[in-house]
Amino acid sequence: MTGFHISSRTYVMFLSEDISDKDSAVLYRSVLTVGGLVGGMAMHGQILASYRRSGYDACHSNATYGANNTNSSVDSVSMVMMKNGYLISSATVCIMILAGVLAIIFGTAERKDISSSSGGERAGQSLLMIKTLKTVLTFRPNVYFLLGFLCIQTTMAIGHGTLALYLQYSLDLEDQIENVILALMASSVLTIPLIALIVSKFGKKTTYICCQLAGIPMFIGFQFVPSGSLAIYAIIIALGIPLGAQYFMPWVLISDIIEDCYLQTKERLDTAFMAVLLSVGSLGITIGLIMATIGLEIGGYKLGSCIQPDDVGSAMRILLALYTAIFTFMGVVFLWRYPITEERQKEITEAIRKRKHANAFQQSASRQHESLSTDTNEEALQKGSNKNVPSAI
């Protein structure tokens, strides 16, 4: 997964030297990525649904000590059917991955100068790799960006890790889990183009901050949704805004950071910046899932048990409402300190354009000088040859 993410993220960076072209490519990639998630979830849900026994409650049929028995568990027949469903779904995913790999191998070509443009010339030297990592981790705009990204990614991980359990044990909407998650992902797909339009009007930093601020009331709303209420759909659809922004905005902001670092250090470190960003994202996911696991432990969750304590539902409410709002607010504070504004971005673009023109002029002058030197040497050789002809005779 790490190899896939680093290569797919950096692939877009090398499509063009123009930031606007990169942002456009990131937009298409984000929409297709989330669209693929929606399609995969729909496919997975339909396959599992076809392997469920309709009108059959495995928990109630296996309850030996009555309806309130906390030791009742799912019967073996249902487990076998569920296992077969997951195996079929996994096989389908493997076929789709193979098709995608073949499309990349035969449908794309890699740039010849990719090594020099991404800092690859330094990659084979361990000391210089450490220096590169230090440059990336201490670059001021990247520090604030990574801290904000970490907090918001932790929020999203908490949501992904607890949403299904929240629906099942806090709202008693087990039959709506797949539909709610599908609605969330579909909403995020539809909001990404809208977010891109807002970026063109108000800038990247402002848009990212506003989208995440819009999610805080939605997170707090999880605490007050009554059990069995379908009002959860309104909150879920609205949460498509911060989720869509998290899929799209970090990858357009990192382009500005890379260009700013290139302007100051005269080195292109695209791959290094992408690798660090993905590592921080994985760290945020890990923190979020650990917090979800701790919440389940505190609530007394029993693995494999059909009936869970009421504290499990309460723990899920607190995680989804309180901790997500706190981490999102912390992320917004760090993003507020992020120094690359729209004006600074224009300055970076203009400075890099001037530097490229100056480099092109120097290269052209150097080639002309070499050409003149070659012509002069040839003329000198011809004159020397002409002088030597009479003496030889």
285 SS3 class = helix
Structure tokens at 20: 């606007």
Per-residue pLDDT of 134-186, as tens digits, reads 888 999 999 999 999 999 999 999 998 899 899 988 998 888 888 898 899 88
Structure tokens at 16: 């063009």
pLDDT at 27: 80
Give the number of residues written for the chain: 393
pLDDT at 123: 44
pLDDT at 156: 93
Classify domain 122-347 at the CATH topology level: Growth Hormone; Chain: A; (1.20.1250)
Contacts of 289 (CB under 8 A, 6+ apart): 157, 161
Residue 305, beta-bridge partner list: 73
Counting as low any pLDDT under 70, the low residues of the chain are 1-18, 52-76, 110-127, 304, 359-393
Of 179, 178, 169, the C-alpha closest to 296 is 169
Give the angle 316-320-321 at the CA atoms, nearest 5°.
115
pLDDT at 65: 41
